[in-house]
Amino acid sequence: MTSSDPILSINDVSLVFGGVRALSDVSFSVQKGELFSIIGPNGAGKTSMLNCISGRYHPTSGSVHFKGQDVTGLKPNARAELGVGRTFQNLALFGHMSVLDNIMVGRHHLLKNNFLTGPLYWFSGAQKEELEHRKFCEDVIDFLEISHIRKATAGTLSYGLRKRVELARAVALRPDLILLDEPMAGMNLEEKEDMARFIIDLNEEWGMSVVMIEHDMGVVMDISSRVMVLDFGRKIAAGLPEEVMANDHVKKAYLGEEDDEDDSVSGKVA
């Protein structure tokens, strides 16, 4: 992979469940360092695409390449080891565990000690390894400004804080590519502003390429490098945010026809 090669390439990906076609011949690429957003109405196939990238789904046809390697057949943990991180639309935290322990889970695949060497905690290097991973997790906690809840039980936190903890767990992987599925859903304005700032810093300061699904068009327009629009599983537009939002097909399929309805273009889709 050269510096000019995309970090992610999706090539003619289709996904069929029984008689339902969730994705139809979708192709796009994401360059290293991009903040790439996928938008579209509910049921357009956005989360299905993220699942194909992360390995939760395997495409019916087409291929997924990450850092120049064909990963279409790899399982999610194998893709995580290559540097693909993920958050979920529906929170997937361990509610009975502390915030710190949830974030530590994001580092588990990086641990070199196994069930054979682990019992020799003091002699196998496991103690030093755990301290190093814990130090990185503490750095993530500081970055996301959740030090005050680091020992709190995840299930007792507000929704906005749990979304931030889920992001922290994905960041703990220190991925080259992070997939964000509606990271700001259900948040108030202040929480959205904080999350947008964290995502920009992950992209610009931490060097993570980002693929994000987001319904808030203000956020998408403000922070995205490029945008792709899906509708009924098909790509109908891709390009710079302002170009995409001016596209007639997007206005019709995503924002609705501009007519006498005051809310036809609301800047946000449910």
Is residue 251 within 8 A of residue 265, CB to CB? The reply is yes
Q: Quote the Cα angle for 162-168-173, to 5°.
A: 140
> Mean pLDDT across the chain, nearest whole number?
86
Structure tokens at 36: 């790439």
**Model pLDDT for residues 146-198, shown as the tens digit of each residue:** 999 999 999 999 999 999 999 999 999 899 999 999 999 989 999 999 999 99
Calpha distance 211→34 (Å, rounded):
8
Q: What is the model's pTM?
A: 0.85
Q: Flag whether pLDDT at 81 surpasses 60.
A: yes
**Model pLDDT for residues 106-135, shown as the tens digit of each residue:** 776 655 544 444 454 444 455 666 777 788
96 burial type by CB count under 10 A (0-12 exposed, 13-18 middle, 19+ buried): exposed
| DSSP state for residue 155 in the 8-state scheme | G
Is residue 93 within 8 A of residue 155, CB to CB? The reply is yes
User: What pLDDT shows up at residue 28?
Assistant: 98
What residue ranges define each of the domains in the chain, with the CATH number in brackets? 1-83+175-270 (3.40.50.300), 93-174 (no CATH)
Long-range contacts of 66-72 (CB under 8 A, 24+ apart): 66/7, 66/8, 66/177, 67/1, 67/7, 67/176, 68/1, 68/5
What share of the chain in percent tops pLDDT 70?
A: 84
